[in-house]
């Protein structure tokens, strides 16, 4: 570890069984020795609460702590997180462990942070046990106050689901094949799943904080553009610093997806430093096909995380194990041993990180963009319901498509949760943001009225936060802001021969999966692109993209799914219409340019990453500090980045 420059280790995450081998035996000796050994080598410890996996003896003596699946069957013990967060028995055992750890290590100088749980909710987010049912009833009562309010929120008159009291509230257990869950109930059950785990985390945190009040708490989030296990916008307020586990998406979106996820992480960090708690040196072992990172990507990915605002770069895991479920997962020291390319790269990275730290990188933060792409966990959950206009549309795909299309146009956007300060940006994108609550509606209206520049897409503002449709034509609560009225949707696909599976636009782009039927355009709006289609489709000449004047601002509406490519092609006109300047560089789009700076401007770092698979040649000022996948030509002051 010394050779690699490691200075922090997350420890004992799955070690409850070693710390408490039987109910009445505690063994801290091994942990003492490891913490001491690390500390003496100058390596600090992010010590786990160790509750992620409970010991088998606990499941044996208290099988009631096991969660139940939606069929009511208890989940079997033997993996991770096989416990129900609403089980009072489990909580008692877990909090006892937390207190014991706090008593033993609270004043240990080498323990500098608490690592609570591990990826809360990954395995036990949906629990259908009686404990969960009881907790859900209480949660509903706290939220709605009266059963009448809950009936109204869930629209239970439809399909005769009216409840007489909170004792009749159900969790969405299996109701027979092809049964549809009440969407309001589903959305609340998702929120409840988040809240019960957050409450569990808080109980663990507070148990430790009572004994050890002065060390920071974190827990590793799973922020990635295909995951929405928890509503991390709510969790961010409850930790002292956020940290994230990010695993790369192989293929052409690799770098962009990483940067997009980090853009959201940097917003969740609320201006404080944040960690990449886990990423991989190369392949993982949990996908059907586990591709390796190509040479140089280990370093490139770590530097990209750093550029996007992270202040610590950690890997899962130090040594690749010989046995167990993750033996094929890459690590810092691979099976081949230290005489390996991976370990040499890890050492080189360690030296580079030290160099950047010496140059003052840790006093800087990601320089904020002028464009915010809004992201919303609850909109994602709402679009995951099975009774929607199409199963092809989910919220998350759009923030990523916009992030990439903006990058294609030379703009690295921030990704901001819906409850975050997106209205402080020069321009804002609402990408398939299905839920617009009254509060968000008010913010959107004020933002544009006061001069904001807004992009809105199809599938935005269909419902409020009870999942009730905003009536009168879509997007109901901001129809006048965008200046269009949509009466129907046209989902597309090739499931049936001869069905419409795409629509061409007269700006040369193509819509797939989804188009709005825009039936009227306000006098204050004009059409920027129209559909160009066969007569039988009813779409020929219909408006597809519009721009509206509203108050002192402008709102562009994109009424179809254009994907990254179509958006990238449509954006130059829209950016110009809305008065948003982009970088005039020739290499626009080829290179992801990210900057970090401190408040004084004294420390300022520029990071350049190649987004393509071809070599990109860029001008460089001064002497590059670190260069991965790049050859610097000092006389010409250029760098060729692979
Ligand atoms: C998660 C877990 C780790 C490990 C990795 C493998 O992030 O937190 O314990 O299983 O996945 O990628």
- In the structure encoding, which two tokens stand for residue 165, read together? 């009291």
pLDDT > 90: percent of the chain: 94
Instruction: Report the nearest atom of ligand 1 relative to the CA of 247.
Output: 12
Question: Which tokens sit at 358?
Answer: 């010496």
CA distance 426 to 1: 45
**Contacting residues for 49 by C-beta, under 8 A, at least 6 apart:** 94, 97, 98, 101, 114, 115, 116, 117, 204, 208
Q: CA 642: distance to chain centroid?
A: 28
CA-CA distances (angstroms) from residue 377 to 128, 343, 445? 22, 37, 21
How far apart, in whole angstroms, are the C-alpha atoms of residue 433 and residue 378?
A: 9
- Judge contact between 97 and 20, C-beta under 8 A: yes
Reported as a pLDDT band with limits 50, 70 and 90, residue 524 is: very high
Task: Tell me the average pLDDT across 241-259.
Answer: 97
**Ligand 1 mean position to 115 CA, how many Å?**
14
Residue 441 has pLDDT above 90, yes or no: yes
Among residues 268, 95, 238, 126, the alpha carbon closest in space to that of 192 is found at 126
Whole-angstrom Cα distance, residue 526 to residue 556? 10
- C-alpha closest to that of 155 among 187, 184, 181: 184
Q: What is the pLDDT of residue 209?
A: 98
* Residue whose CA is at the smallest distance from ligand 1 atom 12: 284
pLDDT band for position 544 (cuts 50, 70, 90): very high
Closest CA to 20 of 99, 138, 127: 99
Catalytic one of 257, 278, 378, 398:
278
Q: Which residue has a Cα nearest atom 10 of ligand 1? A: 326
Residue 280 CA, closest ligand 1 atom number: 12
**Using alpha carbons only, how large is the chain's radius of gyration in Å?**
26
- Cβ atoms of 461 and 495 within 8 Å: the answer is no
Give the pLDDT confidence of 374-395 residue by residue, as tens digits: 999 999 999 999 999 999 999 9
How far apart (Å, rounded) are the C-alpha atoms in residues 617 and 150? 60
∠ CA 571-573-577 to the nearest 5 degrees? Answer: 110
Secondary structure of 236-284 in HEC code, one letter for each residue: HHHCCCCEEECCCCCCCCHHHHHHHHHHHHHHHCCCCCCEEEECCCCCC
pTM of this structure = 0.97
Position 629 confidence tier, pLDDT thresholds 50, 70, 90: confident
Contact 8/312 with Cβ under 8 angstroms? yes
> How far, in whole angstroms, is CA 500 from its chain's centroid?
33
In this predicted model, what pLDDT tens digit does every residue of 548-578 receive, in sequence order? 999 999 999 999 999 999 999 999 999 999 9
- Taking each helix axis as running N to C, give the angle between helix 88-105 and helix 183-211, from 0 to 180 degrees, rounded to the nearest 10: 30
Q: Looking at the predicted structure, is the pLDDT value of residue 588 above 80?
A: no
pLDDT band at 408 (very low <50, low <70, confident <90, very high): very high
Write the residue with the smallest CA distance to atom 3 of ligand 1. Answer: 316
Query: To test ligand 1's pocket by mutation, which of 122, 229, 316 has the most ligand atoms within 8 angstroms of CB?
Result: 316
What is the mean pLDDT of the segment spanning 578-601?
Answer: 85
Residue nearest to atom 5 of ligand 1 (CA): 316
> In whole angstroms, what is the distance from residue 478 CA to residue 455 CA?
12
pLDDT at 584: 56
Pocket of ligand 1 (CB under 6 A): 118-119, 245, 247, 278, 284, 316, 326, 329
Model confidence at 148, in pLDDT bands (50, 70, 90)?
very high
Q: Which of 171-180, 301-310, 581-590 has the lowest mean pLDDT?
A: 581-590
Backbone φ and ψ for 497, nearest 5 degrees, come out as -55, 135
- Identify the pLDDT of residue 586: 53
Q: At CA 156, angle to CA 155 and CA 162, rounded to 5?
A: 150
Section 184-192 average pLDDT: 98
Query: What are the DSSP calls for 536-582, one per residue?
Result: GGT-TT-EEEEEEEETTEEEEEE-B--HHHHHHHHHHHHHHHHT---
Which mutation among 123, 222, 245, 249 tests ligand 1's pocket best, with the greatest number of atoms within 8 A of CB?
245
590 catalytically annotated = no
Q: Whose CA is nearest to atom 7 of ligand 1?
A: 245
- The CA distances from residue 412 to 260, 262, 294, in Å, are 9, 12, 25
Q: Which of 5-14, 201-210, 414-423, 492-501 has the lowest mean pLDDT?
A: 492-501
CA 316 to centroid of ligand 1, rounded, Å: 7
Check whether 587 has a pLDDT greater than 70: no
Cα dist. 276→221, 227, 311, 412 in Å?
9, 16, 8, 20
Tell me, what's the pLDDT at 342? 98
Burial class of residue 88 (count of CB atoms within 10 Å of its CB; 0-12, 13-18, 19+):
exposed
**H helical segments located in 81-231:** 88-105, 130-144, 147-154, 183-211
Judge whether residue 543 has pLDDT over 90: yes
Q: What kind and span of H or E run contains 431?
A: none
**Residue of 320, 350, 347, 349 lying closest to 333 (CA atoms):** 320
Name the β-bridge partners of 596. Answer: 366, 605
Residue carrying the six token digits 């605002």? 309
Q: How far is CA 526 from the centre of its chain?
A: 35
Q: Is residue 585's pLDDT more than 70?
A: no
Q: What pLDDT is attached to residue 637? A: 84
Ligand 1 geometric centre to CA of 315 (Å): 10
Assess contact for 253 and 144: CB atoms under 8 A.
no
Q: In angstroms, what is the span from residue 118 Cα to ligand 1's centroid? A: 9
Q: Is pLDDT of 415 > 80? A: yes
d(CA 415, CA 43) in angstroms, rounded, equals: 33
Judge whether 168 counts as a catalytic residue.
no
pLDDT class for 583, splitting at 50, 70, 90? confident
What percent of the chain has a predicted confidence (pLDDT) above 70? 99
**Which residues are within 8 A (CB) of 372 and not within 5 positions of it... i.e. 6 or more apart?**
413, 414, 415, 416, 422, 425, 427, 428, 429
- In Å, what is the CA distance from 217 to each residue of 16, 74, 184, 584? 19, 32, 34, 43
């Amino acid at each position: 570890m010394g050779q690699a420059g490691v200075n922090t280790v997350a420890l004992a995450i799955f070690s409850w069984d070693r710390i408490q081998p039987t109910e009445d035996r505690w063994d801290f000796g091994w942990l003492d020795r490891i913490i001491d050994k690390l500390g003496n080598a100058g390596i600090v410890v992010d010590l786990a609460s160790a509750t992620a996996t409970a010991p088998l003896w606990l499941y044996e003596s208290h099988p009631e702590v096991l969660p139940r699946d939606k069929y009511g069957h208890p989940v079997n013990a033997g993996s991770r997180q096989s416990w129900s967060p609403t089980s009072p028995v489990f909580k008692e055992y877990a909090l006892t462990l937390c207190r014991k750890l706090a008593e033993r290590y609270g004043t240990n100088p080498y323990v500098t942070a608490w690592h609570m749980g591990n990826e809360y909710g990954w395995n036990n987010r949906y629990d259908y046990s009686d404990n969960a049912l009881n907790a859900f009833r209480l949660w509903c009562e706290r939220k709605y106050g009266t059963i009448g309010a809950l009936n109204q929120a869930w629209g239970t008159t439809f399909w005769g689901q009216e409840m007489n009291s909170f004792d009749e509230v159900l969790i969405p257990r299996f109701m027979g094949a092809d049964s549809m869950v009440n969407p309001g109930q589903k959305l609340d059950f998702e929120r409840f799943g988040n809240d019960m785990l957050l409450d569990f985390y808080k109980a663990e945190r507070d148990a430790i904080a009572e004994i050890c009040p002065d060390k920071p708490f974190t827990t590793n989030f799973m922020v990635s553009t295909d995951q929405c296990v928890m509503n991390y916008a709510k969790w961010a307020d409850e930790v002292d610093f956020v940290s994230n586990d990010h695993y790369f998406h192989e293929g052409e979106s690799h770098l962009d997806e990483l940067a997009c996820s980090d853009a959201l992480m940097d917003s969740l960090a609320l201006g404080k430093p944040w960690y990449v708690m886990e990423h991989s040196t190369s392949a993982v072992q949990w996908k059907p096909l586990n591709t390796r990172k190509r040479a140089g990507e280990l370093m490139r990915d770590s530097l990209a995380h750093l550029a996007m605002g992270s202040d610590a770069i950690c890997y899962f895991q130090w040594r690749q194990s010989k046995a167990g479920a993750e033996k094929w997962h890459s690590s810092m020291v691979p099976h081949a041993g230290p005489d390996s390319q991976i370990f040499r790269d890890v050492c080189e990275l360690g030296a580079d990180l030290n160099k950047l730290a010496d140059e003052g990188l840790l006093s800087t933060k990601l320089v904020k963009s002028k464009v915010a792409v809004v992201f919303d966990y609850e909109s994602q959950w709402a679009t995951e319901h099975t009774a929607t206009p199409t199963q092809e549309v989910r919220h998350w795909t759009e923030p990523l498509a916009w992030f990439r299309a903006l990058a294609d146009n030379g703009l690295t956007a921030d990704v901001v949760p819906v409850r975050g300060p997106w209205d402080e940006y020069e321009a804002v994108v609402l990408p398939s943001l299905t839920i617009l609550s009254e509060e968000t509606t008010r913010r959107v209206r004020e933002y544009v009225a006061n001069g904001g520049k807004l992009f809105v897409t199809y599938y935005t503002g269909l419902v409020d936060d009870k999942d009730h449709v905003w009536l009168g034509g879509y997007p109901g609560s901001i129809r006048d802001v965008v200046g269009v009225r949509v009466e129907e949707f046209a989902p597309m696909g090739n499931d049936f021969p001869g069905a419409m599976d795409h629509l061409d636009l007269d700006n040369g782009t193509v819509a797939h999966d989804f188009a709005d039927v825009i039936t009227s355009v306000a006098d204050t709006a004009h059409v920027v692109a129209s559909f160009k289609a066969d007569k039988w489709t009813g779409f020929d000449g219909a408006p597809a993209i519009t721009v509206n004047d509203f108050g002192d601002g402008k709102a562009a509406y994109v009424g179809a799914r254009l994907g990254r490519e179509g958006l990238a092609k449509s954006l130059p006109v829209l950016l110009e219409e809305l008065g948003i300047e982009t970088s005039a560089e020739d290499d626009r789009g080829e290179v992801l340019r990210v900057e970090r700076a401190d408040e004084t401007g004294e420390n300022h770092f520029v990071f350049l990453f190649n987004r393509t698979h071809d070599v990109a040649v860029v001008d460089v000022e001064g002497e590059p500090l670190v260069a991965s996948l790049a050859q610097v030509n000092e006389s010409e002051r250029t760098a060729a980045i692979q």
